[in-house]
Amino acid sequence: MAKVEALLSVLEVAALKVRRNLEIPGADFSRLERVLRNLETTILVCRRAQRQLRDGPFDRPLPQPRPGSVARMNRREYVETGSLEEFRRFREAGPIRDDELQQVDIDRLCTELSFWRNR
């Protein structure tokens, strides 16, 4: 839970910096707004994960993809991916498996994300 809270802190600081940069004359507004939308979406996902970790239950099955969704991009996927090629790579990779999650070095990930907080 502490690691999710740390990640949320890093994301919120990043979002704050992007909001401040939006106020600077001559800033690249379209890029900054896109970055801010992605950060806000990620923050919402992390808050949902935080609630799930806090409240459970953990015995519910994961949602299955809708039939026919492999060929079509939904709105969320359109917003979250930078290109059609990136979308295809994620689709081909499939969902993240439990064994892959076990291999993630969360401390290293938090350290790398906090690097951006200090910039």
Alpha-carbon distance 42 to 36, whole Å? 10
CB 12 within 8 A of CB 43: yes
Q: Could you read off the pLDDT of 63-98 as tens digits, one per residue?
A: 666 655 555 677 777 777 778 888 888 778 877 788
Question: Residue 95 burial (CB < 10 Å; 0-12/13-18/19+)?
Answer: exposed
pLDDT band for position 106 (cuts 50, 70, 90): confident
pLDDT band for position 4 (cuts 50, 70, 90): confident
Residue 115, amino acid = F
- pTM equals 0.49
CB 3 within 8 A of CB 106: yes
